[in-house]
Structures are given as structure tokens and as C-alpha cells.
Amino acid sequence: MNDPLTLERLGFNPEELAAGVDEAGRGPLIGPVMAAAVILDPLKPIKGLADSKKLSAQRRESLNLEIRERALAFCIAEASADEIDQLNILQATMLAMARAVAGLHVIPNRVWIDGNRVPKLSIPAKAVVKGDSLLDCISAASILAKVSRDAWCSDIDKQYPMYGFAQHKGYGTKAHMDALKVYGATPWHRRTFAPVAAVLTRA
């Protein structure tokens, strides 16, 4: 996907059975943080894998289906809003990632984590900054996590249409903040996040 020398310097071995891991939903004010772990099948290559944030929604959806069909194994896991409030968002993200890896029905030799931190795993793992742009397996994980998180937002939007979750995906946009002030927090909001805590304090 990138310069082979770059991957070589990372210690990446294309012959190794490796899982890529990424998350979606650290920044929003509502809902779970989701993580995906993916082991790609070298005999079933997938064209066009990239950082999910750089792809259109339509392209993400298409690749999401292709990854699910062609990967050797994948798992999508989450840490709930309550767990985020109890643990903090960093630790909850690590928990979701560990759950995704644990849910794989194929055990990888190594795990590549997007970012600069590694959750507690029983398998050798390494963090890769901007890994979703460097390694296909992490790109695939970022796509599954993002599509799953967006689908969750669309579902919750049907229960609470006044907040606009399908549009802003739970981020602290003006529309979201205005709705919070008018309607208060839903059961899905992250109580420890400052904008939500401020609304609850005023209530």
C-alpha cells in the first residue's frame, strides 16, 4: 500500500498472519466507541483500501461488504458509553480493541494497532501512527469500525430524531449542542464529556 521500505522499517512481514485494529467514535459525545480487528486473506486482495476518513460514505459501504466477504477473519466490538464514563475514553478504546482481537476466530501471529498505544493482549502487538494509511489490514479495520459506528448513529437517530445524530454522528456540532440545551441528554450520552456534563449541571 505504501513504500515497502517504510513497512520494512516498521517490522511488517507480509508473510505473517497479522491482524489490523482501529477504532471509531472516540470524539463524539454519545454512544459506544467501536473497534474492529481484521485479518486479510492474501489470496483475496481488496483494491482501494485506505483510511476510512479519506473515503466517501458510498465507497466505505462498498469496501465494508468486500472486507466482510474476503477477510480471513474479522470482529467488531465496542465499549459502551457507561464504560467510557467509568474508565475514560482512552481506556475504553483499549478495551474495545482488546475485545475485537479476542473475538477473532483465527488467531493472528501479530497485531498492528492504529495510533500510539497498544491494549493489553496475549499476542505480540505494535502501535503504528497513521497505520490506517500504511497497512491494508488497519485500513480494513478502520472501514469496518467507521461503518459500524455510523450505522449505530443512524439507528439511534430514529429514536431521537431531534438531535440529528445521523448527520453529525454525535460530534459536538452547533446543531447537537443546541439540541442538548433544548432536550437535555439522552441515556446514550457520555456524561463525563464536558459539553454533556455542562448541560446536566444546568438541568
Q: Is the dihedral of CA 83, 100, 50, 63 positive or negative?
A: negative
Q: What is the pLDDT of residues 5-33, one digit of tens each?
A: 355 566 667 667 899 999 999 999 999 99
Q: What is the pLDDT of residues 30-84, one digit of tens each?
A: 999 999 999 999 899 999 999 999 999 999 999 999 999 999 999 999 999 999 9
- Contact yes or no for 134/40 (Cβ under 8 A): no
Q: What is the pLDDT of residues 106-154, one digit of tens each?
A: 999 999 999 999 999 999 999 999 999 999 999 999 999 999 999 999 9
- Contact yes or no for 51/133 (Cβ under 8 A): yes
Which of the two residues, 165 and 202, has the higher pLDDT score?
165
**Dist CA 197 CA 160 (whole Å):** 19
Q: How confident is the model at residue 4 (pLDDT cuts 50, 70, 90)?
A: very low
State the cell numbers at 71.
477477510
Q: How far is CA 3 from CA 7, 87, 200, in A?
A: 7, 38, 49
Give the predicted TM-score (pTM) of the model: 0.92
3 pLDDT above the threshold of 60: no
What is the SS3 assignment for 71? Answer: coil
Residue 94 is predicted with a pLDDT of 98
Q: What is the pLDDT of residues 143-189, one digit of tens each?
A: 999 999 999 999 999 999 999 999 999 999 999 999 999 999 999 99
State the cell numbers at 12.
511488517
CA atoms within 13 A on the CB side of 150: 16
- Contact yes or no for 132/139 (Cβ under 8 A): yes
**Dist CA 75 CA 160 (whole Å):** 28
Domains defined for the chain, CATH in brackets: 4-160 (3.30.420.10)
Residue 157 is predicted with a pLDDT of 97
